[in-house]
Copies of this chain bind each other. A is one copy, B any other.
């Protein structure tokens, strides 16, 4: 095995930050944030730029049926070598941050580029490397979130994914076709190991002054899309008792969902972030409301109990407002522990790089969690300034980006020289 010292590293200081600055222009806002909704024109621009970077660096570029983008760097000397995969997502929230997702995609690209340079300089590898951009991680425009990675691992069918509609009724299929990313390539085979670099989106690393978070556990999450269907009427003459007010039902439910959080302080987070009202006119009793409930808990029994309460609250709200109710998308994921082997590998690489690391939970979902049942999976956090996330003010210091890149590069190198096996990779070197 070739020593890691032969891989370029320190000379690339600031390279990732400059790539990120470039990508922050796609859907970029004056505030420094981005609005780059999945399969929008801005997302198309970012995808094109990612594909161009990959090609230029010598990767084989492909896109699958739901628009997942893959760039495979052929590092091994044989066909059918194990594949090490890294990546994240280029889509953003509306007025979201410029690091969320794109950091992991560009760090993966950068790792692949450097590994390819190393190979050309004579370093030998026994695995290929793939940088990936997963479609619709955010779930902001299309639901569910983690759509691209979920489809890749078979948790969701391609047809269901493509039929997902945004709030204007546009299908993901049509939106991807419009930007040229309704692909026909087969996705690459299941990787031997998947590792994702992401911003923390919380304040623990910053508070502890630790630059690397090794995710060991993810909170469980339950997501429920609800439609209340009432009857459009004039807010003037229509008698109160005869009204079937879909917004009144939604309002009661939102208050009830918020109250669930108070039952288990700091152990469950509850929210309704999305509410679409029809016809949405001041003097019309709303005929329909569509909303999305999220429950995230650190304990499965809490999550299950909270789901029961939420489902009862939906029915109660519908009855009080005399409206019909339909449950749409409903997904849940249990509390999960990430494989210790990948965590150990990251820990060793951080130690070698001379930077502190700590174990940490993730409350938010990430594409890495989709891969969890498919292959050994790792998730690495770098600090978020002030813990701010899904907000234009989201920020990560440039030196923390470099530290994350350094550690990820060491992880990638070890994996690609150990047949993609994290246990062997942690041992070697």
Contact = CB atoms under 8 A, between A and B. Distances in A.
Interface of A: 93-96, 138-140, 143, 145, 167, 200-202, 219, 221, 223, 231-240, 243, 245, 247-248, 250-255, 258, 261-262, 265-266, 269-287, 292, 294, 296, 362-365, 387-392
A265 B237 contact: no
Contact of A233 (B221, B232, B389): B389
Given A251-B251, A254-B248, A277-B274, A282 B235 contact: no
A261 B320 CA distance: 14
Contacts of A364: 234, 236-237, 283
Given A277-B275, A364-B237, A389-B237, A283 B252 contact: no
A278 B35 CA distance: 13
B261 A240 contact: yes
A236 B219 contact: yes
A248 B271 CA distance: 9
Contacts of A276: 280
Contacts of A275: 247, 275, 277, 280
Contacts of A236: 201, 219, 221, 269, 294, 296, 362-365, 389
Copies of this chain per assembly: 2
Given A247-B273, A252-B255, A274-B277, A233 B284 contact: no
B93 A283 contact: yes
Contacts of A389: 233-234, 236-238
Contact of A251 (B200, B232, B250, B365): B250
A287 B273 CA distance: 9
A360 B317 CA distance: 34
A239 B387 CA distance: 10
Nearest to A384: B237
Contacts of A285: 271, 273, 390
A72 to B, nearest CB: 31
12 contacts: A200-B237, A234-B391, A236-B269, A236-B362, A236-B365, A237-B363, A238-B269, A248-B258, A248-B272, A271-B285, A273-B281, A276-B280
Contacts of A269: 235-240
A232 B145 contact: no
A245 B390 CA distance: 13
Contacts of A281: 93-94, 138-140, 273-274, 390
A139 B282 contact: yes
Nearest to A221: B236
Contact of A273 (B200, B201, B280): B280
Q: Which 10 A-B pairs have the closest CB atoms?
A: A236-B364, A251-B254, A94-B279, A282-B292, A202-B237, A234-B389, A140-B281, A235-B271, A236-B363, A234-B390
Contact of A284 (B140, B266, B284, B365): B140
A27 B254 CA distance: 34
A169 to B, nearest CB: 15
